[in-house]
Structure 1
């Protein structure tokens, strides 16, 4: 067991890569909007996919419901997100981006795209395609999801 190498353990490498590549972006959304990581995830999913319940955001982002709930409350205090009763099920609340949240989302998407391009520029086109394909496969997204 002493020969186990974390340098080849995929979960460890993925976590390290995620932390290394995500910290710069996290500093930006925290500085500009006072958001934490889970708040960004909620904002992103609502901005990208439209109105949905907190449980749907949690499922899509693979984030525990307690963290999503805290993030939604924080985004509500910032007036980025509002809740409304679902027309189909009154026990369920639907989240929607408010104008301030929409502007924050649009601003941060530009930053994210810039950072993504900068991160990938050291890789060849073939390496980029392989990296994205492998990460999507490991994340369970399949070929197009």
Structure 2
């Protein structure tokens, strides 16, 4: 009959240590970064994360279809659709027919939407700069290359129907 420490059952080693699991760590980093940015665009302009992504995409490309925006922002098409509807109701974006494909519409910023983009984009870039300030220029280049590499690999592994923020 075993007594003392020999009688204690050893806890099995965990298969995953959450704080060391890369998908979890990336999600934490993304969440914290999004929270910092949300303070700018949510408090000042009443924009959700998906709405901000639509505004930024249209600010960058002038006009896009909702279908084109979903994979760019890793958002499900229903998420993009809800954001587009909300932004249109607020008068921040307009829809124009796509004469080449009547099933979809071109989306563009209104002058009010462009003003929001131009007001908040520099502040978002400042948050990015503060975040990256702890890295040397070489570390920043290495990080960008590693993120690109991991993103490409993750796209090959991920099902097309995954919602943003999962993992």
Q: What is the TM-score when the length of structure 1 is the normalising length?
A: 0.91
Choose from 47, 58, 61 the match for 2:59. Answer: 47
Choose from 15, 29, 33 the match for 2:27. Answer: 15
Looking at structure 2, the residues matched to 41 and 61 of structure 1 have their Cα atoms a distance apart, in angstroms, of 7
Aligned to 2:17: 5
Looking at structure 1, the residues matched to 96 and 137 of structure 2 have their Cα atoms a distance apart, in angstroms, of 44
Q: What is the TM-score when the length of structure 2 is the normalising length?
A: 0.80
Aligned to 1:32: 44
| Unmatched segments (≥5 aa) in structure 2 | 1-12, 154-167
What is the CA deviation profile of residues 57-109 of structure 1, one whole-angstrom value per residue up to 9, with x for unaligned ones?
A: 11211110111010001111111101111011122111011101111111111
Offset at residue 3 of structure 1 (A): 4.1
The Cα RMSD (Å) is: 1.5
Looking at structure 2, the residues matched to 21 and 127 of structure 1 have their Cα atoms a distance apart, in angstroms, of 18
| Unmatched segments (≥5 aa) in structure 1 | none
Looking at structure 1, the residues matched to 118 and 42 of structure 2 have their Cα atoms a distance apart, in angstroms, of 15
Q: Which has the larger radius of gyration?
A: 2
Aligned to 2:124: 112
